[in-house]
Amino acid sequence: MAKNPYINQTRSELFDSAQNRAGKLQDGPHSDTGHLLLAMAMQLHNADMATRGPGGQLKGSGSLSDAYAQRLELLQRNARYEVLRDAADATLGSKATAWLQPGYYDGSPYQQGMVSDAGLLEVLAELELLRKR
């Protein structure tokens, strides 16, 4: 069995590797795999943004709370997205993407679930009603 050359890559490196490999597969007989890699890379892109360290900001006159507040907000938003996406997939299956469509309408489940933990809980309650139908 061949050793997996990607196993120890960071999310940022995986994003780059997936994008590069997808580009090579787009016009060949494995274009479906290329599309899969592109979709997965986009999931990694959001996660990659959250892993960037704000430590460099500390070299200025900023405080720890100033330096890390933005990162905390991004990590919390990414966590809400992961929960929202997983719950929608489990409840709606192939219809989850359309239901979550960002900006589909004002107050969409995506918009509501991403704003705050309270908003996410409201969307989960809505999904629970759909699940019981």
Measure the CA–CA gap between 127 and 84, rounded to whole angstroms.
10
Q: What pLDDT, in 10s, does the model give residues 11-29?
A: 777 778 887 887 887 777 8
Residue pair 18/44 in contact by the 8 Å Cβ criterion: yes
pLDDT digits (tens, 9 = 90+) for 32-50: 787 787 777 776 665 545 4
Q: What is Dmax (Cα atoms) for the chain? A: 55
Q: What is the pLDDT of residue 90?
A: 93
- Find, among 120, 131, 35, 32, the residue nearest to 82 by Cα: 120
Question: What is the pLDDT, as a whole number, of residue 111?
Answer: 83
pLDDT of residue 48: 46
Other C-beta atoms lying within 10 Å of the C-beta of residue 73: 11
Residue with tokens 């900001």: 57
Q: Bigger pLDDT: 47 or 122?
A: 122
Taking 80 as the threshold, does the pLDDT of residue 3 lie above it? yes
Q: Residues 53-103: pLDDT tens digits?
A: 665 555 665 678 877 787 788 888 888 888 998 999 999 998 888 888 766
Residue 24 is predicted with a pLDDT of 82
Instruction: Determine the residue type at 94.
Output: S
C-beta neighbour count of 62 within 10 angstroms: 13
- Res 45: pLDDT: 60
Encode pLDDT of 108-119 as tens digits: 788 888 888 999
